[in-house]
Amino acid sequence: MSRSNLARLLVSCPDREGIVAALANALADSGANITSSDQFSSDPLGGSFSLRMEFYVPEPETRIPLLEQRLGEIAEKLDLEYKLVDAHVRKRVAIFVSKYDHCLIDLLGRWHRGDLEMDIVMVVSNHPDLAVEAARFGVPYHHIPVTKESKPQAEAAQLELLQKHGGADLVVMARYMQVLSADFLANVGAPVINIHHSFLPAFAGADPYKRAHHRGVKLIGATAHYATEDLDEGPIIEQDVVRVSHREDAIALERIGADVERLVLARAVERHLQDRVLLQGHRTIVF
């Protein structure tokens, strides 16, 4: 497989002296030119270190293997976890959705305009309602009904469908109103991003707009996070809020909040596609 000239290096490790120097020397010795670099230390004494670099490398077919050898040596010496990514390889994305269309249509539109550099391999839904929207963009749509009794069989069918179509690098829950099981998350082979229609950790779970209206909140928001088996408790990638008042009822809050949901989910997906999100325990470092 041929490589492109632009690559990314993602690093996580315990913080200590000499990490950046070792990595920079390895890149320089491999003929690479660093074009951007971001790093974060939680504490210079005993903390954790995260780094994202983009770099240009001539003759990647010969230079990248040399770089990988050097990085392996550094990783062993500095207790370092790293990942090299070809920046021009588009990630394969599957979108899961139920009946709410606003996040799905927004993602399809951004993808169609070239704002999100990804390949949408399919849309999967537990309802048939949005097949026409996927068809407008030429994206395959698969309806797999889900009930409480049939959920294990439905998730098995979803996993089989993904495997049949070559898998996905990312699954996006664009208001997919089902809780994915631990078995599904363990076997899907890709991160899963969910959009929740509240500013977590407030109003986790069902009907957040009704509950927000009942409490008389003055801000409503949305949260994009990686899905885990614990409902709405996965590592947070992106959040935003909008101001509201006592004049809005729950229906108005839902309409206003839909705009925030679209924007927050699109930002989170974009950051993931660009390899800007690094996990640090239950937190994310977003460069």
Per-residue pLDDT of the chain (287 residues; tens, 9 = 90+): 567 899 999 999 999 999 999 999 999 999 999 999 999 999 988 899 999 999 999 999 999 999 999 999 999 999 999 999 999 999 999 999 999 999 999 999 999 999 999 999 999 999 999 999 999 999 999 999 999 999 999 999 999 999 999 999 999 999 999 999 999 999 999 999 999 999 998 999 889 999 999 999 999 999 999 999 888 899 999 999 999 999 999 999 999 999 999 999 999 999 999 999 999 889 999 99
* Topology of the domain comprising 91-286: Rossmann fold (3.40.50)
> Which candidate in 15, 86, 129, 232 is catalytic?
232
Classify 207 in phi/psi space as left (phi over 0), alpha (psi -120 to 50) or beta.
left
Domain ranges of the chain: 6-86, 91-286
- Is the CATH code 3.30.70.260 the one for domain 6-86? yes
CATH topology agreement for domains 6-86 and 91-286:
no
User: What confidence score (pLDDT) does residue 231 get?
Assistant: 85
Is 29 annotated as catalytic?
no
pLDDT of residue 109: 98
| Cα–Cα distance measured from residue 226 to residue 172, given in angstroms and rounded to the nearest whole number | 9
d(C-alpha 80, C-alpha 65), whole Å: 18
CB-side neighbour CA atoms (13 Å) of 147: 2
Asked if residue 33 lies in contact with residue 49, where contact means CB atoms within 8 angstroms, the answer is no
Q: How far apart are the C-alpha atoms of 163 and 60, rounded to whole Å? A: 30
pLDDT of residue 230: 87
Strands 91-97 and 170-173: parallel
Would you say 65 and 90 are in contact if contact means Cβ atoms under 8 Å apart? no
